[in-house]
Structure 1
Amino acid sequence: MELDLKNLKTKDFYYDLPQELIAQTPIEPRDSSRLLTLNKETGEIAHSHFHDITDWLHPGDCLVLNDSRVLPARIYGIKEDTGARVEFLLLTNQGSDTWEVLCKPGKKAKVGTHFTFGDGLLTAEVTAVQDDGNRIVRFAYDGNFFAILDQIGQMPLPPYIKKKLENQERYQTVYSKEVGSAAAPTAGLHFTKELLQKVKDMGVKVEFVTLHVGLGTFRPVSADRVVDHKMHSEHYLLPQETADVINETRESGGRVIAVGTTSCRTLESVAAKEDCIKESEGWTDIFIYPGFQFKVLDGLITNFHLPESTLIMLVSALAGYDHIMNAYRVAVQEKYRFFSFGDAMFIY
């Protein structure tokens, strides 16, 4: 199909997905998920399992992973004066124990209202109400805030996952380190520590960036025209060591392969902002869709994304619209598992 890049429609990225293909639970072991490989030049597709990813990597390549760790960001508490139940979802850390939160029911959270969580382990006061209805809240507590969240919080699983997660650690990558995401960078969920070591042993460099995933990643595209969609903003960090290895890899002819769309967005954001890859930290709202010129990326390990989402637009920009839509048709026919706990795709 010939795409009009100036007039891309959100509906161009629709595909029909049977509900039963949306993975509700993670597969065990992590690397036993299926792997669809897609050649971005030819559109050629092959099928294997994720532990075979080493067959598709070359010595001298560089894998870039997002080491962000998911906050158990959903907390339940009570309004201090009435005892009414309330649910907070922590979105963005604004510093000084102040957070932007999504509050249900919102009408209970007027400015000046006080709430208590975990039998008093955590208290909160609403300090502002934003235009979008989100609240700015200041927390008070004794001890370590993140340790208290680990104790009383729940993982904010995506809305399409209806089953309770038995082991919260399965919604974390095995290399997660920097706490701050409202959702997991799910492409990395397929790696085990053993598989990562095997990748390193074959001469592939493994480096890290941090991008804290916001819940905006699940926000549907409501605009009819793709260009009218406004991306949410997310905080990223690209360390100097990672920048050095990426630059060495490119100079020596190796491939730079992002693990996940978040790693991809970090690398391409830095390249756009700095006009090179170097140490960088900031906020990005980069929106990658067909017509985008990649400056860094050669390949991408990713999951299968929602119809009409910004993420399927991103992979279409890298691999070509027709190749991606065909790969998704094949994945549905072959009954791959979709979304956060689903199977993987390697675009090379």
Structure 2
Amino acid sequence: MKVDLFDFHLPEELIAQVPLKTRTDSRLMVLNKQTGEINHEVFKNITEYLREGDCLVLNDTKVLPARLFGVKSDTGAKIEVLLLKQQEGDQWETLVKPAKRVKIGTEIVFGDGLLTAVCIEESEHGGRVLEFKYTGIFYEVLDQLGEMPLPPYIKEQLEDRDRYQTVYAREPGSAAAPTAGLHFTESLLEEIKAKGVHIAFITLHVGLGTFRPVSVDDVLEHDMHAEFYTVTEGTAQLLNDVRQNGGRIITVGTTSTRTLETIASANNGVFTAGSGWTSIFIYPGYEFKAIDGMITNFHLPKSTLIMLVSALAGRENVLHAYNTAVAERYRFFSFGDAMFII
């Protein structure tokens, strides 16, 4: 299966650079995965497409302000650090720029000494393992000094960094937001619950691999990145109950989808609690075992994300929907509009 099968023309001006003033004012394309029929809506009206007994599954990961700007302690040279993954204690896998200036033993100072780091390991493509030193709580220091690591296609400065968090974010650890959830407000979630729709939370920490382009010609040759997930006993039980009672399981975002499909695939369609790493790669031909529908944003051409969406709704339906979205001037990617596949 060729990667080019998932290409479409996207004018650059349709890439949303800033969030809308009101989260629920985003447009919503409703796509019937069986017929390909499309309805144009506003996100605040999504309750009209949900039914009593359904379960909405949200990813409650919280984006770290993981981009740090510091200087080398010996020369004062400027260094940019992006936190990727915590290892033991205060050791983190990071990307640094310019990497050639950071060798093993190099010390970097942030915020006039509030935070320091020493390079203890080098790897390819700017990868470095840094060991941090600080006083107090690391995440509080990071919150004071760090900036949000916005995706590379967003060029504008983010005025309010809470707009790159979902309103239900609570588990720190992501390098990027689960952006399908950015459209929800607390009042909309209350409205959804009042309709008799269950709300379940999972955690999957989004890695920067989600933005990595597919560099091979054949889909099957792509090496999928791994991300850490957690599902609680309460969530697993709720999902099993909803399935047993005939309700639909609707995931918010590809991250929630990958988490549930990982668990259901390993347990013959049954949801169980647990934590682990998933590198599941979902593309057309995949048989879904966990979900009935999905709310998601509009994704990059030839990305693993559009492949996942195409697996659920059919490649031709999805490409027709995307071309329609372009013609109708929908806003794309992280701060863009949403699609509900039912």
Equivalent position to 2:294, from 295, 300, 303:
300
Who is 1:325 aligned against? 319
- Distance apart, 1:315 and its partner CA: 0.1
Cα contact 2:179–2:335 (8 A) shared by 1: yes
Equivalent position to 1:277, from 271, 279, 282:
271
Equivalent position to 1:189, from 176, 182, 187:
182
After superposition, residues 12-51 of structure 1 pair within 5 angstroms as 12-51=5-44
SS in 2 for 1:119: helix
- Name the amino acid aligned to 1:331: A
- Distance apart, 1:274 and its partner CA: 3.2
- Name the amino acid aligned to 2:95: L
SS in 1 for 2:214: coil
What CA distance in whole angstroms lies between the structure 1 residues aligned with 2:88 and 2:177? 22
What CA distance in whole angstroms lies between the structure 1 residues aligned with 2:266 and 2:235? 17
Who is 1:338 aligned against? 332
How many equivalent pairs are there?
A: 341
What CA distance in whole angstroms lies between the structure 2 residues aligned with 1:158 and 1:267? 25
Which structure 2 residue ranges, 5 or more long, are not aligned?
none
What CA distance in whole angstroms lies between the structure 2 residues aligned with 1:202 and 1:108? 57
- Name the amino acid aligned to 2:12: Q
After superposition, residues 217-256 of structure 1 pair within 5 angstroms as 217-256=210-249
What are the Cα deviations for residues 209-228 of structure 1, in whole angstroms up to 9, with x where unaligned?
A: 00000001000000100000
What CA distance in whole angstroms lies between the structure 2 residues aligned with 1:337 and 1:95? 40
What are the Cα deviations for residues 117-170 of structure 1, in whole angstroms up to 9, with x where unaligned?
A: 111011101111124541111101000111111111000000111100000000
Who is 1:311 aligned against? 305
SS in 2 for 1:95: coil
What are the Cα deviations for residues 70-118 of structure 1, in whole angstroms up to 9, with x where unaligned?
A: 0000000001111100000000111301100000000111111111111
Query: Structure 1 residue 84 and structure 2 residue 77: aligned?
Result: yes
What CA distance in whole angstroms lies between the structure 1 residues aligned with 2:134 and 2:39? 53
Query: Structure 1 residue 122 and structure 2 residue 115: aligned?
Result: yes
Who is 2:250 aligned against? 257
- Distance apart, 1:236 and its partner CA: 0.3
- Name the amino acid aligned to 2:261: E
Calculate the aligned-residue CA RMSD, in Å.
Answer: 0.7
Who is 2:49 aligned against? 56
**Higher mean C-alpha displacement, 63-72 vs 266-275:** 266-275
What CA distance in whole angstroms lies between the structure 2 residues aligned with 1:245 and 1:332? 38
- Name the amino acid aligned to 1:304: F
- Name the amino acid aligned to 2:91: T
SS in 2 for 1:170: helix
What CA distance in whole angstroms lies between the structure 1 residues aligned with 2:110 and 2:124? 25
SS in 2 for 1:282: strand
**Higher mean C-alpha displacement, 124-133 vs 256-265:** 124-133
- Percent of aligned pairs with the same amino acid: 59
Who is 1:168 aligned against? 161
After superposition, residues 62-211 of structure 1 pair within 5 angstroms as 62-211=55-204
**Higher mean C-alpha displacement, 122-131 vs 287-296:** 122-131
Query: What TM-score do the two structures reach when normalised by structure 1?
Result: 0.97
- Name the amino acid aligned to 2:102: A
- Name the amino acid aligned to 2:272: K
What CA distance in whole angstroms lies between the structure 1 residues aligned with 2:290 and 2:301? 26
Which structure 1 residue ranges, 5 or more long, are not aligned?
1-7
What CA distance in whole angstroms lies between the structure 2 residues aligned with 1:274 and 1:209? 17
Query: What TM-score do the two structures reach when normalised by structure 2?
Result: 0.99
Equivalent position to 1:215, from 180, 201, 208:
208
- Distance apart, 1:242 and its partner CA: 0.6
Cα contact 2:97–2:126 (8 A) shared by 1: no
Query: Structure 1 residue 266 and structure 2 residue 266: aligned?
Result: no
Who is 1:288 aligned against? 282
What CA distance in whole angstroms lies between the structure 2 residues aligned with 1:50 and 1:102? 36
